[in-house]
């Protein structure tokens, strides 16, 4: 399975290779079988479930989700170091690259660190001071695991600056020195505040949304402003369209109807016929100015 293989295809292939039923995965992780089935179709998986799923399958969670990292074996370490900057995140310039030399204690950040973190950093002490003890402990444990086990790991953490906070997603891997041990950590970080805030709010609202979606007569999907599916009732509807086709349709809808979306944003409501579907849409902005789109497809 190559790095270009999608998460859902990679997961489904692993389950088939190991002859593991989706129900067994669901029971092991304490989730519904429907949730596991969604993951095999490329559905969104949160960090906690991703970590438990990777542990259950005994694979690296970054490889499982992104397919970009080597296993951490001595022969694979150079590949992991090269690929740390090739992860398919966003087409964004706001990605910080960093290196931490464990032997000297020196850390180097790319020049755009201030635009992403909100502060100019030149040492780890300045970095640690921006986060809570819990976040600091989480990062230290993650970095320690890289040193002990190799491979690569992804972590989300919150930093605070002048009364406001940002969520940072950081992906790191280890590089071995002349002594054959991991003596340097290299990684990439990006501001993931909007996505993380959306995820946390939706998690709190999930019970309500699940109940609402289950009883709606038509296919209904909640997405972010780019059209990525956040919640839906696809599994409970008798739909000929599979999950990936639905996601593709929504991406195309958002990309090809800018003027309509601007009107939707202004009025909060709109209707459109797109690819043979009559679509009713609602635009909502919550208290933190984060936009959500709700699409009803018939």
DSSP for 100-152 reads: EETTT--EEE-TTHHHHHSS---SHHHHHTTS-HHHHHHHHHHHHHHHHH-SE
Element (H, E) at 62: helix 61-66
Q: Write down the pLDDT at residue 67.
A: 58
Euclidean distance between CA atoms 109 and 119, whole angstroms? 12
Q: Write down the pLDDT at residue 175.
A: 86
- What does each C-alpha distance from 261 to 91, 202, 237, 257 come to in angstroms? 22, 22, 26, 6
For residue 204, give both structure tokens. Answer: 């709190």
Q: Write down the pLDDT at residue 288.
A: 54
Q: Write down the pLDDT at residue 264.
A: 92
What is the per-residue pLDDT across 103-156, written as a single tens digit (0 to 9) for each?
A: 998 998 888 888 888 788 888 888 888 888 888 898 889 899 888 888 787 888
Tell me if the pTM is above 0.75. Answer: no
Q: Write down the pLDDT at residue 208.
A: 67
Beta strands in the chain (DSSP E): 95-101, 107-109, 152-161, 164-176, 182-191, 219-223, 229-232, 269-274, 277-285, 291-297
Euclidean distance between CA atoms 22 and 25, whole angstroms? 5
Burial status of residue 244 (CB atoms within 10 A of its CB: 0-12, 13-18, 19 or more): middle
Euclidean distance between CA atoms 197 and 203, whole angstroms? 10
Q: Write down the pLDDT at residue 62.
A: 67
- 252: nearest Cα among 272, 235, 232, 268: 272
Q: Write down the pLDDT at residue 290.
A: 63
Structural contact between residues 204 and 197, judged by C-beta atoms closer than 8 angstroms:
no
Regions of the chain short of the pLDDT cut 70: 1-5, 47, 62, 66-93, 205-208, 237-239, 286-290
């Amino acid at each position: 399975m190559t790095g270009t293989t999608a998460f859902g295809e990679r997961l489904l292939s692993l389950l088939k290779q190991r002859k593991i039923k989706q129900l067994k995965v669901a029971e092991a992780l304490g989730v519904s079988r429907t949730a596991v089935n969604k993951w095999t179709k490329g559905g969104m998986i949160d960090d906690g479930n991703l970590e438990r799923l990777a542990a259950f399958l005994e694979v690296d969670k970054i490889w499982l989700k992104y397919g970009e990292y080597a296993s951490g074996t001595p022969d694979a370490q150079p590949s992991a170091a090269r690929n740390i900057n090739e992860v398919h995140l966003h087409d964004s310039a706001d990605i910080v690259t960093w290196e931490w030399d464990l032997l000297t204690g020196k850390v180097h950040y790319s020049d755009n660190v201030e635009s992403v973190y909100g502060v100019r950093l030149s040492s780890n002490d300045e970095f640690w001071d921006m986060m809570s003890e819990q976040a600091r402990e989480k990062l230290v444990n993650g970095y320690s695991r890289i040193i002990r086990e190799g491979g690569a790991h992804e972590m989300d953490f919150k930093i605070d600056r002048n009364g406001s906070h940002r969520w940072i997603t950081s992906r790191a891997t280890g590089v071995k020195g002349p002594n054959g041990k991991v003596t340097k950590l290299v990684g990439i970080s990006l501001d993931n505040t909007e996505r993380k805030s959306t995820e946390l709010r939706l998690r709190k609202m999930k019970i309500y949304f699940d109940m609402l979606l289950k009883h709606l007569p038509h296919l209904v999907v909640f997405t972010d402003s780019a059209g990525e599916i956040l919640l839906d009732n696809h599994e409970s509807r008798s739909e000929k369209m599979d999950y990936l086709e639905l996601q593709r349709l929504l991406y195309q809808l958002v990309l090809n109807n800018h003027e309509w979306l601007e009107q939707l944003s202004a009025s909060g409501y709109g209707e459109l016929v797109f690819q043979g579907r009559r679509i009713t849409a609602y635009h909502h902005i919550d208290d933190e100015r984060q936009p959500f789109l709700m699409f009803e497809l018939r």
